[in-house]
Amino acid sequence: MGMTVAEKILAAHLVEGEMIKGKEIGIRIDRTLTQDATGTMAYLEFEAIGIPRVKTESSVCYVDHNLVQSDFKNADDHRFLQSIARRYGLFFSPPGNGISHQINLERFGLPGKTLLGSDSHTPTGGGLGMLAIGAGGLDVAMAMAGKPFYLIMPQIYGVKLTGKLQPWVSARDVLLELLRRLTVKGGVGYIMEYFGPGVKELSVTDRASITNFGAELGATTSLFPSDENTGKFLESQDRADGWVELAADEDAEYDKIIEIDMSSLEPLIACPTSPDNVVKVSEVAGKTVSQVLVGSCSNSSLRDLLVVAKTLESREVNLDLSFEINPGSRQVLENMAAMGDIQTLIHAGARIHQAGCLGCIGMGQAPATNTISLRTFPRNFPGRSGTKNDQVYLCSPETAVAAAITGKITDPRKLGEYPSFSLPEKYLPGDARIEPPQADGSDVEIIRGPNIAPFPEFKPPPENWQGTVLLKTGDNVTTDHIMPAGAQILPLRSNIPAISEFVFSQIDETFSKRAKEQGPGMVAGGENYGQGSSREHAALAPRYLGVEVKLVKSFARIHKANLINFGILPLTFADPADYDLIEQDAKIEIPGLRRILAGDGNQLEVKINGETITANLDVSSRHRQILLAGGLLNWARGN
């Protein structure tokens, strides 16, 4: 039987296990990326491993999240990251240079390679035919140390594309359609692989928008084949020597197949407060809008900004809204300027910000109270924008610029003829500020500001675990709910004692205080617990507060891995109806925990106020050893 693209890359990088669906495998990681919000902790963890230099083909340290320097914290972290890069042999992309995923696509990504990133939107690289996976910072630190990355061998979900996108419909709408059909849980346990005659109709930029936004399906990753379009893109970036053709075999088999006729799509939009709350733009047209943002790692490429600029020629931004542009990279800015399109945006009334994530991660750009904000971002979880009870809609650049002109949600097809534009045959590289690795960084001093706290130590679990239910949550709890983002909290990512004060603050402001007072604790939850960002702080900070067990109906992939990495027991209800037996403040016992972890059974007894239920322990033998040690770092030091 033939192989899919994903299976070919996995097979070429397999170092442990067998490629049997549902079994754990270990793969070699060629390249890594970090961003500053997760990177500071990842490098503290890398230092704790104790090796003198990264062992990957290349690793890049980006600063793209914590860009607002309202006090010393972010600026200190930026200096720390630059010194880390110089010491340990990484590329360094400084603040203002752009978003990690956009730059990685432009300057570093290559088909057939594996990429591990401490950001859930790392699958952007799949647009180039990479196997690009988001993970927690500790997993990335281990990869930089030359260790395998472990994952459960996913099933492959084939997405067959036919037809061609019509005017005013973009690649963004392809993934919105998938979210409409499959929901934010539809890709859990799968790699989404695109194939079919429609693939050739999509540029690498289009494909990257799809694989980036595909993270919201809960998928392990998403990827496209590497074809002539891939080669043309790399040639335009003066990197043609890295191109290889990569396609699924004719007799490759997918575990599931879904088909999308791109010719039949029309502009779509995700309504508040989930990326899968998708409807046709025409169904919500006419709603007044006060803010429109174009940018983020999903839609901040030169293609996306050119669509906006060309549409605004001879038009103006509505006076009743703020239209804001967050370019994806310095390269995008340089090429826009050279082509004369920055002037178009300025004349039309757009606000042009520095290249970076900004409002997508709640770093400024919060919308006004009780108003609608349209964004080309990948997430619209409640309060993520920085405004309580926000009304954030997710859409394509075409739909965004239509609203910017009219002041209302508008089907962009109402604007008339689609603008004509072309991308450069050769891009201005825009990479002059990327600092290459030093040949020898052994004499470089690591610069540590006062906000950078030592990595906390965690003890192994006891033989018989006892604790209290600190919180009971519902379905689709995101890592934003567990560990909020925003300009107030993000700068504390390198200070676990300080950031732990905000754990679950969006759900229960008393959580941190109660957790400290009540001792070892458990959190109960519903389906898809921990969806969204890869932020390991959503596991690390609760662990610091004494959360040692999570018992839920189901976990999101990255969050479950992060829980194990920090020694938190990830349990699921054997009978989902037992969720109703759990109440906050209930007393919990797990007898014989260490004995169970040392064995191979996949179920254990949990006593809730003396009443016994059964929970599933769905972990590998390696995970059991990590949990017995109290976390991955403890385990790694002993091995």
Q: Provide the CATH number for the domain around residue 60.
A: 3.30.499.10
Place of tokens 């002109």: 405
**Domain boundary, last residue among 213, 242, 264:** 264
Residues 260 and 303 placed together within one structural domain of the fold: no
pLDDT tens digits, 146-193: 999 999 999 999 999 999 999 999 999 999 999 999 999 999 999 999
Residues 235 and 299 placed together within one structural domain of the fold: no
On whether residue 453 sits in a domain, the answer given is no
533 is catalytic: yes
- Predicted confidence at residue 453, as pLDDT, reads 86
65 is catalytic: yes
**CB 187 within 8 Å of CB 528:** no
- Predicted confidence at residue 485, as pLDDT, reads 84
- Predicted confidence at residue 636, as pLDDT, reads 87
Residues 29 and 156 placed together within one structural domain of the fold: yes
Alpha-carbon distance 570 to 129, whole Å? Answer: 33
DSSP letter assigned to residue 103: H
On whether residue 180 sits in a domain, the answer given is yes
The active-site residue, picked from 13, 65, 87, 557, is: 65
Choose among 443, 445, 438: nearest CA to 90.
438
DSSP letter assigned to residue 532: S
Residues 228 and 284 placed together within one structural domain of the fold: no
On whether residue 447 sits in a domain, the answer given is no
- Predicted confidence at residue 534, as pLDDT, reads 81
pLDDT tens digits, 489-517: 888 888 999 999 999 998 999 999 999 99
Residues 606 and 531 placed together within one structural domain of the fold: yes
Residues 105, 106, 111, CA angle at the centre, nearest 5°? Answer: 50
535 is catalytic: yes
CATH number of the domain where residue 531 is located: 3.20.19.10
The active-site residue, picked from 86, 303, 384, 535, is: 535
Domain of 302 in residue numbering reads as: 268-412
Q: Is 27 helix (H, G, I), strand (E, B) or coil?
A: strand
Alpha-carbon distance 274 to 216, whole Å? Answer: 9
Residues 379 and 475 placed together within one structural domain of the fold: no
On whether residue 602 sits in a domain, the answer given is yes
b/e per residue 134-152 (b: at least 16 CB within 10 A): bbbbbbbbbbbbebbbbbb
**CB 115 within 8 Å of CB 122:** yes
- pTM of this structure: 0.93
Left (φ > 0), alpha (ψ -120 to 50) or beta: where does 533 sit? beta
On whether residue 431 sits in a domain, the answer given is no
**CB 38 within 8 Å of CB 72:** no
**Domain boundary, last residue among 232, 264, 296:** 264
On whether residue 442 sits in a domain, the answer given is no
Alpha-carbon distance 66 to 252, whole Å? Answer: 43
Q: How far is CA 262 from CA 166, 182, 199, in A?
A: 8, 17, 10
Alpha-carbon distance 518 to 514, whole Å? Answer: 6
Tokens of 427: 């891009």
261 is catalytic: no
- Predicted confidence at residue 512, as pLDDT, reads 96
Choose among 544, 541, 548: nearest CA to 520.
548
Residues 154 and 234 placed together within one structural domain of the fold: yes
Task: Say whether the peptide bond before residue 344 is cis (omega within 30 degrees of 0).
Answer: no
Residues 256 and 278 placed together within one structural domain of the fold: no
Residue 492's Cβ-side half-sphere holds a number of Cα atoms within 13 Å equal to 19
On whether residue 510 sits in a domain, the answer given is yes
Residues 627 and 504 placed together within one structural domain of the fold: yes
Residues 151 and 209 placed together within one structural domain of the fold: yes
DSSP letter assigned to residue 313: T
pLDDT tens digits, 356-406: 999 999 889 999 999 999 999 999 999 899 999 999 999 999 999 999 999
The active-site residue, picked from 13, 30, 59, 64, is: 64
How long, in residues, is the chain? 639
- Predicted confidence at residue 163, as pLDDT, reads 98
**Domain boundary, last residue among 222, 246, 264:** 264
Residues 102 and 199 placed together within one structural domain of the fold: yes
The active-site residue, picked from 172, 379, 384, 557, is: 379
- Predicted confidence at residue 519, as pLDDT, reads 85
Q: Is 213 helix (H, G, I), strand (E, B) or coil?
A: helix
Place of tokens 């929901």: 183
On whether residue 289 sits in a domain, the answer given is yes
For the chain, which ranges sit under pLDDT 50?
none
DSSP letter assigned to residue 196: S
DSSP letter assigned to residue 110: -
Number of domains making up the chain:
3
pLDDT tens digits, 410-432: 999 999 999 999 999 999 999 99
- Predicted confidence at residue 422, as pLDDT, reads 92
64 is catalytic: yes
Residues 507 and 379 placed together within one structural domain of the fold: no
